[in-house]
């Protein structure tokens, strides 16, 4: 095969236009004959593809190792995402705090007196205190029925105490009569 034909076949091969017969011819040429020095690279390529390569069978745990590698890479990407997210949230929170503190300290106004004359301020204070007192007094009026209950309880205890005093007085009289009877000996005659 001359160099012109060889160059044409190699060009067809690299463009993907060559047929199987032409590829077989190129392989056999580069593996058996001495190629010109300008085709050393092509000789290495075709020499590599001409050798039969045996592909080994994967080990039984091949699939589990692949899945473990995928899971590990997903964990790493999740960790990176979480770090990325945390850093952005931290920056956003810091900016929010700075903006809020600016508005808080910038919009603070000092409290000013509303009255320049102390007599007017005193009069307004007294007016407010009288209104508060009136409201409290109206609230205590609602409790008057409760005070009546307390008064009725005291009166009923008083009448019970009077009754108890009368009974005690009568019992004292009876006790006195019994003592007198014991002294005179009249109670001994009754028991017998």
Alpha helix locations (H) across 107-143? 118-141
| Distance of alpha carbon 175 from alpha carbon 170, whole angstroms | 9
- Give residue for tokens 């690299």: 14
Whether 22 and 9 have beta carbons less than 8 Å apart is answered as yes
What digits encode the pLDDT tens for the residues 6-35? 888 888 888 888 888 888 888 877 777 677
Is the confidence at residue 192, as pLDDT, over 50?
no
Phi then psi dihedrals of residue 5, to 5 deg? -65, -40
Please check whether residue 32 is in contact with residue 44, taking contact to mean a CB–CB distance below 8 angstroms: no
- pLDDT by residue (tens digit) across 91-147? 999 999 999 988 888 877 665 667 778 888 888 899 999 999 888 888 777 777 777
- With 70 as the cut, is the pLDDT of residue 187 above it? no
Angle between helices 20-32 and 3-15 (to 10 degrees): 130
CA atoms within 13 A on the CB side of 72: 6
Work out the percent of the chain whose per-residue pLDDT is above 90: 9
- Are the C-beta atoms of residues 14 and 30 closer than 8 Å to each other? no
- pLDDT average, residue stretch 149-175: 82
């Amino acid at each position: 095969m001359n160099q012109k034909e060889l160059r044409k076949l190699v060009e067809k091969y690299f463009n993907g236009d060559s047929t199987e017969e032409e590829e077989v011819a190129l392989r056999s040429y580069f593996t058996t004959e001495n190629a010109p020095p300008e085709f050393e690279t092509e000789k290495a390529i075709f020499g590599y593809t001409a050798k039969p390569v045996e592909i080994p069978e994967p080990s039984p745990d091949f699939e589990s190792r692949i899945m473990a590698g995928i899971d590990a890479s997903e964990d790493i990407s999740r960790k990176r995402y979480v770090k990325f997210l945390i850093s952005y949230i931290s920056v956003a929170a810091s900016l929010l705090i700075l903006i809020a503190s600016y508005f808080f300290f910038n919009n603070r106004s000092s409290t000013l007196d509303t009255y320049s004359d102390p007599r007017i301020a005193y009069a307004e204070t007294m007016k407010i205190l009288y209104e508060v007192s009136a409201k409290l007094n109206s609230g205590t009026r609602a409790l008057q029925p409760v005070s009546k209950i307390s008064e009725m309880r005291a009166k009923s205890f008083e009448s019970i105490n009077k009754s108890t005093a009368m009974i005690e007085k009568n019992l004292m009289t009876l006790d006195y009569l019994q003592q007198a009877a014991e002294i005179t000996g009249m109670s001994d005659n009754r028991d017998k």
